[in-house]
Amino acid sequence: MSRSPGRKQENHKISRELFVLTYGALVAQLCKDYEKDEDVNACLDRMGYSIGIRLIDDFLARSAVKKCRSYSETADMIAQVAFKMYLGVTPSVSCSSATGNEFSLILDKNPLVDFVEELPAERASLSYCNLLCGVIRGALEMVHLAAEVTFLQDRLKGDPVTEIGITFLRKPEDRKHRR
């Protein structure tokens, strides 16, 4: 039997929907397991970090990207290649510091919240998608870029967009290898 040309895209959509639903179930279970939102946020960040330190190998192998020479190139690579590859969205990037080490990824559409209408009032400080911050932080650390990654705005909390802030913590070291 032959496959229809749209079959692969349909499977990808089903896989993404399954991932989003599974992620929602995971967050719901964490909310049952932990009383404080801060504990849930920390757990999601740790889980994301573990994913990020493993996902970077897949990203580098599949994307065939070249070494970024600046923080702005790195932020653009995260937005234009990584987010597109793994979540099917391309956030816009803005630099928010004169030193060039702070960037914002602005998502008009966040696929992880496709089936979430709003956070319960008792979970107002929950960062539902905090897993993304951990993934970015873990992946950057594996390429020797220490960064602080946090949610600055969240549509689930009534903000107009979802914004992830990335602050690179130190200048890249120019390493000259001697033989």
Full residue range of the structural domain in which residue 38 is found: 16-168
- Is residue 55, in this structure, part of any structural domain at all? yes
- Is residue 4, in this structure, part of any structural domain at all? no
Q: 165 - beta bridge partners?
A: 104, 150
d(CA 145, CA 113): 28
- Is residue 104, in this structure, part of any structural domain at all? yes
- Is residue 60, in this structure, part of any structural domain at all? yes
Looking up residue 112, the CATH number of its domain turns out to be 3.30.1380.20
Report helix, strand or coil for 144: coil
Tokens 């970024």, residue? 68
Number of domains in the chain: 1
pLDDT band per the 50, 70, 90 thresholds, residue 16: confident
**What was the pLDDT predicted at 177?**
45
- Quote the DSSP letter at residue 178: -
pLDDT band per the 50, 70, 90 thresholds, residue 9: low
Beta-strand pair 162-168/147-153: antiparallel
Interacting residues of 156 by C-beta distance below 8 A, sequence separation 6+: 113, 116, 118, 119, 128
pLDDT band per the 50, 70, 90 thresholds, residue 152: very high
Model pLDDT for residues 46-63, shown as the tens digit of each residue: 999 999 999 999 999 999
- Is residue 150, in this structure, part of any structural domain at all? yes
- Is residue 147, in this structure, part of any structural domain at all? yes
pTM comes to 0.86
Report the side by side order of strands in the sheet with 102-107: 92-95, 102-107, 162-168, 147-153
- Is residue 3, in this structure, part of any structural domain at all? no
Beta carbons within 10 angstroms of residue 144's beta carbon: 10
- Is residue 10, in this structure, part of any structural domain at all? no
Model pLDDT for residues 88-108, shown as the tens digit of each residue: 899 999 997 888 899 999 999
